Amino acid sequence: MENIENVVEMNNITKIFGNFTANEDINFHVRKGEIHALLGENGAGKSTLMNMLGGVFEPTSGEIKVRGEKVVIDSPDKADELGIGMVHQHFMLVDKFTVTENIMLGREEHNAGYIDTKTAEKRIEELSNRYGLSVDPRAKVEDITVGMQQRTEILKALYKGSEILILDEPTAVLTPQEIEELMNIIRALAAEGRSIIIITHKLDEIKAVADRCTVIRRGKKTGTVNVADTTQQQLADMMVGRAVNFNVEKGPSHPGDVILDVKDLVVEDHRGLNAVDGTSLQIRSGEILGLAGIDGNGQSEFVQALSGMMPVKSGTIHLKGKNVTNMTPREITESGYAHIPEDRHLHGLILDMSLEKNMVLQTYYKEPFSKNGFMQDKEIKDYALRLIDEFDVRMSSEENPARDLSGGNQQKAIIAREIDRDPDLLVAAQPTRGLDVGAIEFIHKRLVEQRDKGKAVLLMSFELDEILDVSDRIAVMYEGKIMAVVDAKETNENELGLLMAGSSLEDTDSKKYEREEKMTDESN
Amino acid sequence: MNQIKSKSFLETAAVPFFSILFGFILGAIVMLAFGYNPLAAYEALFVGVFTNRYFFGEALVQATVLTFTGLAFAVASRAGFFNIGVAGQFLFGWLASVTFALAFPSIPRILMVPLVLGVGMIAGSFYAGIAGFLRAYFGTSEVIVTIMLNHTMLLISNYMTNFVIGSGSKTGFVGDNTSLSVKFLSDLTNGSRLNIGFILAIIFVILYKIFMDHTVRGFELQAVGLNAEAARYAGMSAKRNIIVSMLISGGVAGIGGAIQGIGTFKYLFTQSSIPSQGFDGIAVALLGMGNPYGIFASSFLFGILKQGATFMPSQAGVPNELVDVVIASIIFFVGASYIIRILMKKFGFSKD
């Protein structure tokens, strides 16, 4: 009986790459019309499993049944035929083409040699309206938002008539609002009898939308659970394999001397507008200052100016009393500055260079890593191995390119490198973006550890939870200005949310008061 | 570099091997189509070079120069720049070394040889440096600038040859005080033009390897080439690395030009077009996949092809133009090594 309702059955699936077992004896069943989450840490083997369903890889052993029939999915085309559509994490769209052209790509409808976009456009519009996707079929992909690009990918799958939709980390690139819209779309699709598989490591999203959840840890299945009967804590424990501590454990801070002193900083963005517009900020040793704000309010530019990557138009930056305004990145680094950059692929690592060389990216020119202009390979290797061991960076060989590491391990490598230089100021920009709970826990611990060692820490993040959990003080940035600096213990998400939207502290105080009143009214 | 390292040697060597093989096959098809016997032609090509010490020496003369231009291109490309101006830098090295040698016929040889090679190097460095400087400070494309500089140097060189340091269409011979010939190389090759430049080429191959893999400057160049943004974050100066890589690249090309000028020809003549050694150097660097030993091996192959090709008209009746077609097909497949990688994947020669 069960076979009938399972639209996809993957039985005893094993996938081996060389001598690495990515999936081991996994059973994964999806029912018709359900939203099934696939949860696991970075590198646990979720994407590998789904790529076998999408025709990218073939299993080493095991069988796949679609609608009760045993199938061999040896190409993405075959997956299409079986009604399996995959929306990849990195979109496969041609920027210069319109939405319609992208969707038609590969299956152009033509009329006497001419591509018939009109008919396709109409169908896409219908689909878009039916599921509330609100995508303009005539817009060029380069002109639409990331959220719309993702919906274009979903449309592509629907246009092909996919009954089974695989979404690989669909919310990683979306704003909270777009995530909410996506969830509604997913619900609508499932209500129509389509089966949705979401690959994710975000627990709240699973709770919000999924019916069942299968958890994978290090290539093996931990179990499949009904989401309604399971708490987030239970899911997290299943995924990581031990009890995860969501709360950042930290004692009270003991702020010391001012380490970073920024006065009236103005930084122009690439368009010549003041992205940072007269910001003043101080961070003392032994404290974590959270920099909160909605993306695009000057936080990135602020951090880039601190690190010397963007020129300062006016104002000053002092690091430990030394004026480092408009110094080069190297001079600033040597003054005691360490930085976990926002984009680890673009700025943090040289992906095609070996991990060991990446570990000395800022220090290679100093002894013992080089002498008289020559690199000292042995010292570099010993050093890298020590950091890899201390920070539990998991990889097969330190000589392999950094590209081979999973996201969490890449970030661990960067943090190891930055912390080990023993800086006075550690700036962490979005340090946990895209990471799973295990890695997030690790990174938060390290940040607090640095604070307790008497370092000054600046944590810039768009995640309010993270800011609230980790910081001692919180500065909120809005349109390039600091709206307020508040004590983390005395504020809450609502107050921060209002500050982030541009209200001043006085406004939020009165609003907070009103809200509290309202809340007491409701509870009565 | 590390990507290449993590693959087996066989896998790495397979791509250039198939490039060469397909090149020969295409060349054979072309010859067949025009009614010539490709087997006889290829026999003439290889037998001519390998059975005669003199011609083998001459093939090495060609290989020497190509090693320099190949290494020159590779240095810049490791740092992320496409130095298409190797030809112009090479020609300037040639022009400058001959000019210098003609001007100082009486400096003793022991001093003169290093001096004249140095002059060639500085000339090449300077010429490439123009493009590097413009790129670093004004963001100008080094590709376009070096292409234009190639043509500029062609005209400058021809003007100098015709009106300043020479007359008619060539200069006089340089003095013996600049001679790069060494007895044992000439004897070994029955009096070919093979000279100390060949030894220098081998030394430069090793120097290149040491520079890229073991020096701080080489590390920086590669870091900038692989990810300029991350390199800047790490405190490396992109501007300095652009200029440094172009100076080294041009310098190596310039030495190649000097060796051509005072070693191979001992004079300078009017060039009808930009010297082919520049573009052949790009092919050599691509075929060698940026690896110095690979570059040396592929310049050796090119040297044999260029020298051996001279026998194809006389012994197999294949006209000169068709010989160029054959060589071009090999270069074509070198450039198309991307396609070969795909084919290898399809037929299971390669895992990734």
Worst-scoring range by mean pLDDT, A110-119, B5-14, B29-38, B83-92? B5-14
Please check whether residues A100 and A234 belong to one and the same domain.
yes
Instruction: Give per-residue pLDDT as tens, A211-225.
Output: 999 999 888 999 999
Contact residues on chain B for A349, CB-CB shorter than 8 A? 227, 230
Q: Enumerate the residues of chain A whose CB falls inside 8 A of the CB of residue B229.
A: 346-347
Average pLDDT in the B178-201 region? 92
pLDDT at B351 over 70: no
The band of B67, judged by pLDDT with boundaries at 50, 70 and 90, is: very high
Q: Are residues A149 and A95 in the same domain?
A: yes
Q: What is the pLDDT of residue A3?
A: 45
Same domain, A150 and A14: yes
Q: Are residues A204 and A218 in the same domain?
A: yes
Question: Is residue B178 within 8 Å of B113, Cβ to Cβ?
Answer: yes
Return the pLDDT at A344: 85
The 10 Å CB-count burial string (b at 16+, else e) for B217-256 is bbbbbbbbbbbbbbbbbbbbbbeebbbbbbbbbbbbbbbb
pLDDT at A2: 45
Contact A399 B226 (CB under 8 A): no
Phi, then psi, of A28 in degrees rounded to 5: -140, 115
Backbone angles phi, psi at A178, to 5 degrees: -65, -35
Q: Which residues of A touch B234 (CB under 8 A)?
A: 329, 361-362
In a domain, A341, yes or no: no
Q: How far is CA A353 from CA A341, A360, B292, in A?
A: 18, 11, 19
**Pairing outcome for strands A456-460 and A6-17:** unpaired
Q: Are A406 and A392 in contact (CB under 8 A)?
A: no
Distance of CA B85 to the CA centre of its chain: 11
Provide the pLDDT for residue A200.
Answer: 85
**Cross-chain CB nearest to A347 (options B214, B217, B229):** B229
Mutation target to probe the B interface, by most B beta carbons within 10 A, among A337, A361, A378 is A361
Q: What pLDDT does residue A495 have? A: 85
Instruction: Give the closest residue to B298 by CA, choosing from B273, B333, B265.
Output: B333
**Are residue A124 and residue A108 in the same domain, yes or no?**
yes
Residue A246 lies in a domain: no
Taking CB atoms and an 8 Å limit, are B216 and A370 in contact across chains?
A: yes
**What is chain A's mean pLDDT, rounded?**
87
Q: Name the token pair of B318.
A: 């294949």
Report the pLDDT value the prediction gives residue B274, as an integer from 0 to 100. 93
A245 in any annotated domain: no
- What sign does the dihedral B67-B73-B74-B75 (CA atoms) show? positive
Are A448 and A369 members of one domain?
Answer: no
Domain range for residue A410?
347-422
Q: Is the pLDDT of residue B44 over 80?
A: yes
Does residue A257 come out as left (phi exceeding 0), alpha (psi in the -120 to 50 range) or beta? Answer: beta
Query: For position A270, what pLDDT does the model report?
Result: 78
pLDDT confidence band for B2 (50 / 70 / 90): very low
Residues A332 and A357 in one domain: no
Confirm whether A153 is domain-assigned: yes
- What residues are paired with A458 via a beta bridge? A289, A427
The list of chain A residues with pLDDT below 70 reads 1-4, 108-109, 173, 175, 507-524
Q: Which domain CATH number covers A316?
A: 3.40.50.300
Domain boundary among A210, A240, A270: A240
Question: Given this model, what pLDDT does residue B337 score?
Answer: 66
Over 70: is that where the pLDDT of B11 sits?
no
Count up the domains in chain A and report the number: 3
The answer on A181 and A122 residing in a single domain is yes
pLDDT at position A434 = 75
Q: Which CA distances in Å does A282 have to A152, A307, A321, A455?
A: 44, 16, 12, 13
Question: Tell me, what's the pLDDT at A173?
Answer: 67
Query: How far apart are the C-alpha atoms of B8 and A294, rounded to whole Å?
Result: 48
Which chain A residues are closer than 8 Å to B230 by Cβ?
346-350, 361
Q: Which of A356, A388, A422 is the last residue of a domain?
A: A422
pLDDT tens digits, one per residue of B101-129: 999 999 999 999 999 999 999 999 999 99
Q: Is B4 a residue whose pLDDT tops 60?
A: no
C-alpha–C-alpha distance, residues A124 and A131, integer Å: 11
Whether A342 maps to a domain, the answer reads: no
Contact B89, B250 (CB under 8 A): yes
Q: Which two tokens stand for residue B296?
A: 């040396």
The answer to whether position A314 is within a domain reads yes
Q: Is the per-residue pLDDT at B295 higher than 90? A: yes
Of B229, B231, B235, Cβ closest to residue A333: B235
Q: Which residues contact B273 (CB under 8 A, 6 or more apart)?
A: B154
Residues A41 and A154 in one domain: yes
**Residues A77 and A151 occupy one common structural domain:** yes
Banded model confidence at residue B20, pLDDT cuts 50, 70, 90:
confident
DSSP string, A251-309: ------SEEEEEEEEEEE-TTSSEEEEEEEEEEETTEEEEEE--TTSSHHHHHHHHTTS
Q: Which residue has the tokens 């926002």?
A: A342
Are the beta carbons of A348 and B216 separated by less than 8 Å? no
* Of A379, A402, A422, the domain-final residue: A422
DSSP β-bridge partners for residue A199: A38, A168
The pLDDT assigned to B3 comes to 38
Residue B299 has what pLDDT? 94
**pLDDT over 70 percentage in chain B:** 92
Q: Do B227 and A374 touch (CB under 8 A)?
A: no
CB contact under 8 A, B216 and A364: yes
Share of chain B above pLDDT 90, in %: 60
Same domain, A309 and A376: no
Q: Is A185 found in the same domain as A78?
A: yes
The rounded mean pLDDT for chain B is 89
Token pair for B281: 């150097």
Of the listed ranges A189-203, B82-96, B326-340, the least confidently predicted one is B326-340
Between residues B8 and B273, which one has the greater pLDDT?
A: B273
Task: Measure the CA–CA gap between B121 and B96, rounded to whole angstroms.
Answer: 9
